[in-house]
Amino acid sequence: MISKSKGIVIRTIKYGESSAITNVLTEQFGLVGFHIPSAFKNKGKTKISYLQPLNAVEISFNFQKTKSLQSISDISCLQYPDLRAFNQQAFYQVLCELLQQIVKENEINHALFHYLYDEALPGMNTDLHFWQLPYVMLSILHHYGCAPNIDTYDEGSSLDLKNGIFLNVVPNLKNTADSESSAIIYEMMTKGINHLEVNSKTRQTVVKHLVNYYRLHIHEDFDLRSMEILTEVSLGR
């Protein structure tokens, strides 16, 4: 039976001379792998331009659990990253790397899918805010169900990265964010980011704490190597 689903392209690699292997985060089935013959020759309905990472697509396919790679019968591109500024391109690279590491096979998360599809991806095509990356990282944690517990926050407290709670007594400096970064994380989770001041050093420290948080809660090998790109640009207003 042919199923139609919205999807987000996560990764596309060349396979053989002209074929592609594409991983798509689908609304109904989670992460699904597809084998697409002659994609790099741009023959047939599935053009390689449709398969760029973070494209929002609608696909039709016959999902078979026993197959590791599915076949697409039809695909249309509904939305694509329109990266006109260098800071948008840098943000795109980091978000690609982030999602490629955290989106797992056999895991269906409707809340995360709709957040990415309806908010995070369209947000790339806007005038990026200076704090947009850590805000997106926190939003993803929220939709994974493992964001810090804001009810434990008090002024001057520090975020225990391992347990996801704010503490007035720091038990382990290695896995604890400093009080300034902890306050900003709390502010982002409760008030958003529009009121936050531009401070490159502080943002970099906050992102480093969040990377560690991802390692402790989602994937122990998580890293953002492309973050170096963002240290060279002023990301947003």
What is the structure's pLDDT at 65? 84
Residue 219 has pLDDT above 80, yes or no: yes
Which of 44 and 165 is assigned the larger pLDDT? 165
What global pTM score does this model have? 0.91
Nearest Cα neighbor of 91 from 57, 114, 125 is 125
Tens-digit pLDDT profile for residues 139-164: 999 999 999 999 999 999 999 999 99
| Cα 151 to chain centroid, rounded | 25
At residue 86, the pLDDT reads: 86
pLDDT of 16 over the 60 cut: yes
**Average pLDDT rounded to a whole number, residues 88-99:** 93
Rg of the Cα atoms in the chain: 19
Tokens representing residue 58 in the block: 């609608």
Q: Which domains are assigned to the chain?
A: 3-79 (2.40.50.140), 86-230 (1.20.1440.120)
Higher pLDDT, 42 or 136: 136
**Cα separations (Å) of 87 from 79, 173, 215?**
19, 33, 26
For residue 190, give the 3-state DSSP assignment: helix
